[in-house]
Structure 1
Amino acid sequence: MIICDFGPGDAPIRFDHARDLIVAYGADDLRPALARADAARAQGHWIAGWLAYEAGLALEPRLKGLLPKSADPLLVLGVYDAPVAATDSAIEEIEIDAVIPLILKEEYIRSFRRAQDYIAAGDCYQINLTFPLETRLRQGSARGLAAALARLQPVGHAAFADMGVGPVIVSRSPELFFATSADGRIEARPMKGTAPRSADPGLDAALAAELAASEKNRAENLMIVDLLRNDISVLAQIGSVKVPELFAVESYATVHQMTSRITARLAAPPSLSALMPALFPCGSITGAPKIRAMEIIHELEPYPRGIYCGTLGWMAPDGASRFSVAIRTLAIRGDNVRLNVGGGIVADSTAESEWEEALWKARFIQPLTTRS
């Protein structure tokens, strides 16, 4: 079962009773899996599911050797007749333990300093450095947890996926990876730049204004806009790539986010076989330039990301699609819940502020934690 709040027309949709399940575990399985999905669409079926971040290593020949060994799939896609309207689930009592980082702050600082060494040496302009946290679901189900988080705050690209393979996924992502239309238009909406919310309206407005005016955050955002423009241009008609919105600030329950929008017209009809190898993973969660950033991420991060920083979404038979960037995303196995946080490191970043900013991004789950 998959539930996406970002169906056609932004209506919530649900995919049930897959006709087929396409699963890829190894690097050599990925492109054939995407081709199978496109073949199913050509027969009139819908595709919905997810790709783990590490699928990006497998899709890039220069990074293929970095793929870690894992029992989890790189890709899980269901083949469906059609989605149906999603309805609210029953309310459950949900309680989780306190969220604990799986690395020490000192370990993060060492990785942060190494990332800045690479930036100073000219390897990268920006590196997205992340780390995992864990908690335990003490009461309630994964589906109930998704519903409880939905009641806490609305986001643009929320999803729930229980495919019977890999972890159960609860995503509260605000970020669009890409959307395509049947007539060949594509849009991406990367997020880069974060500030905390405040309960005081005046201070909250000041924090949003400070983010909007921040030269550092604008520079980080522009790096990723340029990266995505370049990625999309590989698939686009010449001269069609545009940036109609730059440095907008969107406000969510716990953070303000800086976003931009990139649009283009594709040179060929939309297909997963073309879109994913060219665009995945989203540059907002790697750094720039992308391939070198992903090499450094592999060196500095001790845990695979899995679904975190991967993508989850759907594609219709006519080529319309919508896929999220899987941030603010939980991977659930039994009662174990893992989530990850992080942010973009640039030359003038500081370890203390980046550590704190990363932890801000876990606040969306904290109202459900056990109170002693």
Structure 2
Amino acid sequence: MVHGSRSIGHYPTPPFARPPAAPASCLGRHRASASFQWFLGDGGDPAELVSGYLEDNGLGVRNIGRTATQVCPTGAGSICGAALYVSADAGSVMAGAPLGAASPVPSIPDVYAVVYAHDSGPTEPGFSSDFALGEWTPSWTPHEHAAAVSEVRQAIGRGDVYQVNVVGHTSAPYTGDPLPALGRVAALPGARYGGVLAGSGWALATASPETLVEVRDGRIITRPIKGTRPATAAGRRELLASAKERAEHVMIVDLSRNDLARLPGVGPVEVQDLFAVRRWSGLWQAESVVSAPIAGRLDLAGLLRALMPGGSVTGAPKIAALGEIARLEPVGRGVSMAAVGWIGPGHLDLGLTIRTVAADGARLHAWAGGGIVWDSDPEAEVAEAAAKLAPIKAALSPVSPQRSPN
């Protein structure tokens, strides 16, 4: 059975971290009025079901981006827009791809949409400072991670795939209120989608810099990121000079172009800013911009089916890469490598949930990985994943030493 309109439970939206991609002008004034939930096993088409829910709640998702962007209303009680989260597993269902291992956060819905109204003014934080974090426990060892990279290289050698994104998971027990720590994650430098989304007994925080899809002012845009080095002058030079990183990046750009071209109602696809180097926290990353004009009717359900899961966190060809991911990763991706963002009047902005953390009431969960191609070095890939996790772990550490939970 599909879950429909619901009241909002245990975790409120933190006033200091708006829902990802929500308007800055509404910071601290979001009041969640009702939500939609869908879990694996509920049945039906999740893309169609969530689209119907949002349309019924006054958001025109059956024809996105064909009108000029409207200004968000600001009066108390007015609808500002909606947050939307779609898990990696839900994306695989939408794509008709195989599912992998079970999610380590099964209490978090696979599709979650929240319609937000405005309160009369900003609210004050009401969170406890009592927070302690235990030791992180990875779901695989560095040796097992490296072995998975080697298996992908073998699959590439057989011609089964060209590239596969391999992701590892780690978790740690906590006590107390995690929301201030999640707010620190959302505030990491370079987080285009920095924010916190919460439901009954769970929350996720993202510091993602990567756009899965943006629809605004008559265009559809995706900004794939692939290629990472330390944020030093030497690291920037090395990234720009790396033939391996550039080839991996261009492969995902081509996949993104093909995904956009599959959409009805979209004009010629263009690539801008190919392999532009951007900074996220302590890392350089290569980003490109792929876009197309909206020439006809663009429906949210069709958009999700065409783009989920994102190409930069799956691989090429996408369905074959998802098969390798299902075979190799011992723990499900949960809230990571998924999509979260905002739907407002006349626009949509969803980020990929890389650099993302989940709290499920007992443990914090984080994921990191990277794209594997034929000339990937297993040990270097393991080190890259650790480098991506380091700022997340640092942000989650309690501000002052406290007794860790068992």
Name the TM tier (shorter chain).
0.7 to 0.9
Of 174, 185, 188, the match for 2:219: 185
- Is 1:122 the counterpart of 2:164? The answer is no
CA distance in 1, matches of 2:140, 2:230: 22
Contact 2:101 2:330 (C-alpha < 8 Å) held by counterparts: no
Shift in Å, 1:248: 0.7
Shift in Å, 1:269: 3.9
- Is 1:212 the counterpart of 2:240? The answer is yes
Of 9, 31, 51, the match for 2:47: 31
CA distance in 1, matches of 2:30, 2:223: 25
1:338 — aligned with what? 365
Alignment of 1:134-149 (within 5 A): 134-138=171-175, 140-149=176-185
CA distance in 2, matches of 1:28, 1:67: 21
Change over 3 Å in CA distance of 1:37–1:84 after alignment to 2: farther
AA aligned to 1:168 is A
**Matched-pair identity in %:** 30
Partner SS state of residue 361, structure 1: helix
Cα distance per residue 1:284-330 (max 9 Å; x no partner)? 00011101000110000111111100111111243x01111001111
Comparing 238-247 and 214-223, the one that deviates more: 238-247
Cα distance per residue 1:172-192 (max 9 Å; x no partner)? 1111111102x5311111110
Shift in Å, 1:112: 1.5
1:299 — aligned with what? 327
2:385 — aligned with what? 358
Contact 1:236 1:264 (C-alpha < 8 Å) held by counterparts: no
- Is 1:256 the counterpart of 2:271? The answer is no
Count of residue pairs brought into register by the alignment: 361
Partner SS state of residue 362, structure 1: helix
1:265 — aligned with what? 293
CA distance in 2, matches of 1:264, 1:73: 32
Partner SS state of residue 207, structure 2: strand
Contact 2:187 2:195 (C-alpha < 8 Å) held by counterparts: no
- Is 1:278 the counterpart of 2:306? The answer is yes
CA distance in 2, matches of 1:279, 1:255: 26
CA distance in 2, matches of 1:238, 1:119: 32
CA distance in 1, matches of 2:331, 2:57: 35
Q: Which has the higher helix share?
A: 1
Comparing 93-102 and 300-309, the one that deviates more: 93-102
Gaps of 5+ in 2: 1-11, 61-78
Gaps of 5+ in 1: 198-203
Cα distance per residue 1:110-132 (max 9 Å; x no partner)? 21221111111111111000110
CA distance in 1, matches of 2:220, 2:57: 18
AA aligned to 1:216 is K
Comparing 142-151 and 308-317, the one that deviates more: 142-151
Moved over 6 A (4+): 83-88
Of 32, 36, 53, the match for 1:21: 36
1:153 — aligned with what? 189
Comparing 250-259 and 146-155, the one that deviates more: 146-155
AA aligned to 1:164 is S
Report the aligned-residue RMSD: 2.9
